[in-house]
A and B are shown apart, each in its own frame.
Chain A
Amino acid sequence: AQKVTQAQTEISVVEKEDVTLDCVYETRDTTYYLFWYKQPPSGELVFLIRRNSFDEQNEISGRYSWNFQKSTSSFNFTITASQVVDSAVYFCALSEMGAQKLVFGQGTRLTINP
Protein backbone atom coordinates (compact mmCIF):
# COMPACT_ATOMS: atom_id res chain seq x y z
CA ALA A 1 0.00 0.00 0.00
CA GLN A 2 1.16 3.50 -0.73
CA LYS A 3 1.73 5.95 2.09
CA VAL A 4 3.31 9.36 2.45
CA THR A 5 4.44 10.86 5.75
CA GLN A 6 5.29 14.49 6.34
CA ALA A 7 6.28 14.47 9.98
CA GLN A 8 6.71 18.24 10.26
CA THR A 9 3.26 19.65 10.85
CA GLU A 10 4.38 23.27 11.10
CA ILE A 11 7.65 25.08 10.53
CA SER A 12 8.33 28.73 11.25
CA VAL A 13 11.53 30.51 10.21
CA VAL A 14 12.77 34.02 9.71
CA GLU A 15 13.08 35.37 6.21
CA LYS A 16 16.33 34.49 4.39
CA GLU A 17 16.84 31.31 6.37
CA ASP A 18 17.10 28.01 4.53
CA VAL A 19 14.41 25.46 5.32
CA THR A 20 13.95 21.79 4.45
CA LEU A 21 10.60 20.03 4.31
CA ASP A 22 10.77 16.29 4.83
CA CYS A 23 8.81 13.64 2.94
CA VAL A 24 9.04 9.90 3.52
CA TYR A 25 7.08 7.44 1.43
CA GLU A 26 6.18 3.76 1.41
CA THR A 27 5.51 1.70 -1.69
CA ARG A 28 5.89 -1.84 -2.97
CA ASP A 29 5.81 -0.75 -6.58
CA THR A 30 9.09 -0.32 -8.43
CA THR A 31 7.63 2.26 -10.78
CA TYR A 32 6.22 5.36 -9.15
CA TYR A 33 6.26 9.13 -9.21
CA LEU A 34 6.67 11.63 -6.42
CA PHE A 35 5.21 15.13 -6.47
CA TRP A 36 5.29 18.33 -4.45
CA TYR A 37 2.40 20.77 -4.39
CA LYS A 38 2.13 24.20 -2.80
CA GLN A 39 -1.05 25.59 -1.25
CA PRO A 40 -0.68 29.34 -0.58
CA PRO A 41 -3.05 31.16 1.79
CA SER A 42 -5.42 31.79 -1.12
CA GLY A 43 -6.15 28.06 -1.07
CA GLU A 44 -5.40 26.76 -4.55
CA LEU A 45 -3.02 23.86 -5.13
CA VAL A 46 -0.03 24.54 -7.31
CA PHE A 47 2.07 21.77 -8.83
CA LEU A 48 5.81 22.27 -8.17
CA ILE A 49 7.70 19.19 -9.29
CA ARG A 50 7.52 15.49 -10.09
CA ARG A 51 10.24 12.86 -9.93
CA ASN A 52 10.13 9.28 -11.20
CA SER A 53 11.48 6.31 -9.29
CA PHE A 54 14.30 5.70 -11.77
CA ASP A 55 15.76 9.18 -11.60
CA GLU A 56 17.60 10.00 -8.39
CA GLN A 57 19.22 13.15 -9.65
CA ASN A 58 18.63 16.13 -7.46
CA GLU A 59 16.87 19.06 -9.03
CA ILE A 60 17.29 22.77 -8.51
CA SER A 61 14.91 25.46 -9.68
CA GLY A 62 15.91 28.90 -8.49
CA ARG A 63 15.70 28.92 -4.70
CA TYR A 64 14.00 25.51 -4.65
CA SER A 65 15.78 22.17 -4.65
CA TRP A 66 14.67 18.59 -4.22
CA ASN A 67 16.67 15.64 -2.88
CA PHE A 68 15.38 12.18 -3.83
CA GLN A 69 16.95 9.20 -2.05
CA LYS A 70 15.50 5.76 -2.73
CA SER A 71 17.71 4.21 -0.05
CA THR A 72 15.83 6.14 2.63
CA SER A 73 12.52 6.46 0.72
CA SER A 74 12.68 10.21 1.03
CA PHE A 75 11.97 13.14 -1.26
CA ASN A 76 12.89 16.28 0.65
CA PHE A 77 12.31 19.85 -0.46
CA THR A 78 14.64 22.72 0.44
CA ILE A 79 13.97 26.42 0.07
CA THR A 80 17.10 28.53 0.12
CA ALA A 81 16.98 32.14 1.32
CA SER A 82 13.30 31.87 2.17
CA GLN A 83 10.90 34.73 1.46
CA VAL A 84 7.57 35.70 2.97
CA VAL A 85 5.87 34.64 -0.29
CA ASP A 86 7.01 31.07 0.38
CA SER A 87 4.56 30.87 3.28
CA ALA A 88 2.14 28.10 2.40
CA VAL A 89 1.16 24.53 3.11
CA TYR A 90 3.30 22.12 1.15
CA PHE A 91 2.17 18.63 0.21
CA CYS A 92 4.22 15.68 -0.90
CA ALA A 93 2.38 13.00 -2.92
CA LEU A 94 3.03 9.56 -4.39
CA SER A 95 1.55 7.88 -7.47
CA GLU A 96 2.19 4.21 -8.12
CA MET A 97 1.86 2.78 -11.61
CA GLY A 98 -0.15 -0.10 -10.17
CA ALA A 99 -2.60 1.99 -8.17
CA GLN A 100 -2.99 4.85 -10.67
CA LYS A 101 -3.96 7.15 -7.80
CA LEU A 102 -2.27 10.02 -6.03
CA VAL A 103 -1.77 9.70 -2.27
CA PHE A 104 -0.93 12.83 -0.30
CA GLY A 105 0.98 13.40 2.88
CA GLN A 106 -0.57 15.37 5.69
CA GLY A 107 1.10 18.60 4.61
CA THR A 108 3.59 20.94 6.28
CA ARG A 109 2.54 24.48 7.07
CA LEU A 110 5.51 26.76 6.45
CA THR A 111 5.50 30.28 7.84
CA ILE A 112 8.21 32.73 6.84
CA ASN A 113 8.39 35.68 9.21
CA PRO A 114 9.78 39.03 8.06
Chain B
Amino acid sequence: DADVTQTPRNRITKTGKRIMLECSQTKGHDRMYWYRQDPGLGLRLIYYSFDVKDINKGEISDGYSVSRQAQAKFSLSLESAIPNQTALYFCATSDGQAFNQPQHFGDGTRLSIL
Protein backbone atom coordinates (compact mmCIF):
# COMPACT_ATOMS: atom_id res chain seq x y z
CA ASP B 1 0.00 0.00 0.00
CA ALA B 2 1.12 3.52 -0.72
CA ASP B 3 2.41 5.59 2.19
CA VAL B 4 0.52 8.69 1.00
CA THR B 5 -2.87 8.00 -0.56
CA GLN B 6 -4.95 10.53 -2.44
CA THR B 7 -8.58 10.07 -3.40
CA PRO B 8 -9.99 10.39 -5.94
CA ARG B 9 -7.26 9.94 -8.55
CA ASN B 10 -9.31 11.67 -11.21
CA ARG B 11 -12.35 13.93 -11.01
CA ILE B 12 -14.34 15.83 -13.57
CA THR B 13 -16.95 18.23 -12.29
CA LYS B 14 -18.83 21.40 -13.17
CA THR B 15 -18.29 25.01 -12.28
CA GLY B 16 -19.84 25.95 -8.95
CA LYS B 17 -19.71 22.48 -7.40
CA ARG B 18 -18.14 21.80 -4.03
CA ILE B 19 -15.29 19.30 -4.20
CA MET B 20 -13.23 17.58 -1.57
CA LEU B 21 -9.90 15.91 -2.18
CA GLU B 22 -8.69 13.60 0.51
CA CYS B 23 -5.24 12.59 1.64
CA SER B 24 -4.24 9.97 4.16
CA GLN B 25 -0.78 8.80 5.20
CA THR B 26 0.73 5.89 7.04
CA LYS B 27 4.19 7.40 7.47
CA GLY B 28 3.45 8.86 10.90
CA HIS B 29 4.58 12.32 9.77
CA ASP B 30 3.30 15.42 11.50
CA ARG B 31 3.60 17.77 8.53
CA MET B 32 1.23 17.63 5.58
CA TYR B 33 0.93 19.81 2.49
CA TRP B 34 -1.31 20.45 -0.49
CA TYR B 35 0.15 21.61 -3.81
CA ARG B 36 -1.21 22.21 -7.26
CA GLN B 37 0.79 21.65 -10.43
CA ASP B 38 0.17 23.63 -13.60
CA PRO B 39 2.22 23.33 -16.80
CA GLY B 40 5.18 25.69 -16.76
CA LEU B 41 4.58 26.77 -13.17
CA GLY B 42 5.93 23.86 -11.18
CA LEU B 43 4.27 23.01 -7.89
CA ARG B 44 2.74 25.76 -5.82
CA LEU B 45 1.82 25.45 -2.16
CA ILE B 46 -1.86 25.85 -1.30
CA TYR B 47 -1.99 25.01 2.43
CA TYR B 48 0.19 23.27 4.94
CA SER B 49 -0.21 21.87 8.42
CA PHE B 50 2.52 21.19 10.96
CA ASP B 51 0.16 19.32 13.28
CA VAL B 52 -3.55 18.79 13.85
CA LYS B 53 -4.03 22.22 15.44
CA ASP B 54 -1.78 24.14 13.07
CA ILE B 55 -3.04 25.16 9.61
CA ASN B 56 -1.26 27.70 7.43
CA LYS B 57 -1.98 29.36 4.11
CA GLY B 58 0.44 28.82 1.33
CA GLU B 59 1.21 30.80 -1.79
CA ILE B 60 -2.18 30.33 -3.48
CA SER B 61 -4.85 29.63 -0.85
CA ASP B 62 -7.68 31.76 -2.28
CA GLY B 63 -10.65 29.62 -3.28
CA TYR B 64 -9.47 26.66 -1.19
CA SER B 65 -9.94 25.46 2.38
CA VAL B 66 -8.49 22.55 4.31
CA SER B 67 -9.26 20.33 7.26
CA ARG B 68 -6.79 18.31 9.32
CA GLN B 69 -9.06 15.67 10.79
CA ALA B 70 -6.27 13.64 12.37
CA GLN B 71 -2.52 13.32 12.16
CA ALA B 72 -2.96 11.01 9.21
CA LYS B 73 -5.67 12.88 7.29
CA PHE B 74 -5.61 16.21 5.48
CA SER B 75 -8.44 17.23 3.15
CA LEU B 76 -8.57 20.00 0.57
CA SER B 77 -11.89 21.58 -0.40
CA LEU B 78 -12.92 23.75 -3.29
CA GLU B 79 -16.09 25.45 -2.05
CA SER B 80 -17.26 26.59 -5.47
CA ALA B 81 -15.06 25.22 -8.22
CA ILE B 82 -14.06 27.36 -11.18
CA PRO B 83 -12.34 26.33 -14.43
CA ASN B 84 -8.95 27.87 -13.56
CA GLN B 85 -8.72 25.42 -10.66
CA THR B 86 -8.27 22.66 -13.20
CA ALA B 87 -4.89 21.19 -12.30
CA LEU B 88 -3.01 18.25 -10.88
CA TYR B 89 -3.15 18.29 -7.08
CA PHE B 90 -0.60 16.68 -4.81
CA CYS B 91 -0.61 15.91 -1.13
CA ALA B 92 2.73 15.51 0.62
CA THR B 93 4.08 14.71 4.05
CA SER B 94 7.36 15.28 5.84
CA ASP B 95 8.95 14.42 9.14
CA GLY B 96 8.14 17.12 11.65
CA GLN B 97 11.56 17.00 13.25
CA ALA B 98 13.39 19.24 10.80
CA PHE B 99 12.85 21.44 7.74
CA ASN B 100 15.49 19.53 5.86
CA GLN B 101 13.54 16.34 5.41
CA PRO B 102 12.38 15.42 1.91
CA GLN B 103 8.67 15.52 1.29
CA HIS B 104 6.87 12.36 0.28
CA PHE B 105 4.14 12.78 -2.29
CA GLY B 106 0.94 10.99 -3.13
CA ASP B 107 0.22 9.96 -6.70
CA GLY B 108 -1.82 13.08 -7.38
CA THR B 109 -5.44 13.92 -8.18
CA ARG B 110 -6.19 15.16 -11.67
CA LEU B 111 -9.07 17.61 -11.38
CA SER B 112 -10.98 19.06 -14.32
CA ILE B 113 -13.55 21.80 -13.84
CA LEU B 114 -15.87 22.24 -16.82
CB distance from B42 to the nearest CB of A (A): 4
Q: Give B56's nearest chain A residue, CB to CB.
A: A101
> Chain A at the B interface: mostly helix, strand, loop or mixed?
strand
Output the least CB separation between A6 and chain B (Å).
Answer: 8
The answer to whether the Cβ of A60 comes within 8 Å of any Cβ in the partner chain is no
Pull 15 A–B residue pairs with CB atoms less than 8 Å apart, ordered by A.
A33-B99, A35-B102, A43-B108, A44-B105, A44-B106, A45-B90, A45-B92, A45-B105, A47-B104, A100-B50, A101-B58, A104-B42, A104-B43, A107-B40, A107-B42
Chain B residues near A47: list those with CB within 8 A: 102-104
Q: Which residues of A94-108 have CB atoms within 8 Å of chain B's CB atoms?
A: 95-97, 100-107
CA of A105 to CA of B14, assembled, Å: 31
19 new A-B contacts, CB < 8 A, other than A100-B99, A107-B42, are A6-B42, A9-B40, A33-B99, A33-B100, A35-B102, A43-B88, A43-B107, A44-B108, A45-B43, A45-B105, A45-B108, A47-B102, A47-B103, A96-B99, A97-B99, A101-B45, A102-B33, A102-B45, A104-B42
Mask, B8-35, CB within 8 Å of A = 1, is: 0000000000000000000000000100
Number of chain A residues close to chain B: CB under 8 A: 24
Bound complex: CA A100 to CA B98 (Å): 9
Binding site for A on B (CB under 8 A): 33, 40-45, 48, 50, 58, 88, 90, 92, 99-100, 102-108, 110
Q: Are B45 and A50 in contact (CB under 8 A)?
A: no
Distance in angstroms between the alpha carbons of A50 and B40 in the assembled complex: 23
For the complex, what is the distance from the CA of A107 to the CA of B102, rounded to whole Å?
Answer: 17
Min C-beta distance of A100 to chain B, whole Å: 5
CB neighbours of A96 from chain B (8 A): 99
Give CA–CA (A106, B43) in the complex, Å: 7
Residues of A within 8 A of B88 (CB): 43
Interfacial chain A residues near B43, Cβ < 8 Å: 45, 91, 104
Bound-state CA distance A109–B104 (Å) is: 21
Contacts A45-B105, A47-B103, A52-B100 given: A106-B45 contact, CB under 8 Å? Answer: no
Cα distance A94–B103 when bound, in Å? 12
